[in-house]
């Protein structure tokens, strides 16, 4: 990670690593993942069953105790993900895949099609589980919970994340 991004919250052998496109400006400034008031990540994670309570951004490191981690494809913070270039995804790809392979999660869940499309080179990415692995981890593509992404309601986000939870945390 470069000095301007957010610190990864990773450990070896996690169940799921949630992978954002890149840090938002507020998250980077505060040093905590998904810190924006409008970001629905923490609420969605709780309602989908990943955490027993809604984690606050300042407690983001506690996600490790629930078998989950956090990272981003590109370190550079921006106000909007569309401010990233294809070259930034290309430059990040090899190191990012090595990071996933080194930490060996069961699943890497890309938050938004752009994050996975930028790494895989695929133009048409479906929601949910993907056929290919990434860094030896199974791949899921989930809707981005950013407050800027209003194409999905909270209920739709929770439904998509619950499907990953059910597939990953089988009883």
CA pair distance 67, 10, nearest whole angstrom: 10
CA angle 91, 103, 34 (to 5 degrees): 70
The 3 state secondary structure assigned to 121-152 is CCCCCCCEECCCCECCEEEEEECCCCCCCCCC
Model confidence, pTM: 0.92
pLDDT, mean of each 10-residue run, the chain (171 residues): 73 95 87 88 97 96 97 86 81 91 96 86 92 95 86 95 91 41
pLDDT digits (tens, 9 = 90+) for 141-158: 999 998 777 889 999 999
Contact 34, 41 (CB under 8 A): yes
CATH superfamily to which 16-168 belongs: Uracil-DNA glycosylase-like domain (3.40.470.10)
Domain layout of the chain by residue ranges: 16-168
């Amino acid at each position: 990670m470069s000095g301007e991004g957010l610190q990864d919250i990773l450990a070896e052998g996690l169940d799921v690593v949630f992978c954002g496109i890149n840090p938002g400006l507020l998250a980077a400034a505060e040093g905590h993942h998904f810190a924006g008031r409008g970001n629905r990540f923490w609420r969605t994670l709780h309602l989908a069953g990943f955490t027993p309570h809604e984690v606050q951004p300042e407690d983001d490191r506690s996600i490790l105790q629930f078998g989950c981690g956090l990272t981003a494809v590109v370190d550079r913070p921006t106000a909007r993900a569309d401010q990233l270039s294809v070259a930034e995804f290309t430059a990040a790809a090899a190191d990012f895949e090595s990071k996933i392979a080194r930490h060996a999660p069961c699943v890497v869940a890309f938050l938004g099609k752009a994050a996975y499309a930028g790494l895989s080179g695929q133009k048409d990415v479906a929601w949910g589980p993907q056929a290919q692995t990434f860094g030896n981890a199974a791949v899921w593509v989930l809707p981005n919970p950013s407050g800027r992404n209003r194409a999905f309601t909270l209920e739709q986000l929770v439904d998509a994340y619950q499907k990953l939870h059910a597939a990953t945390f089988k009883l």
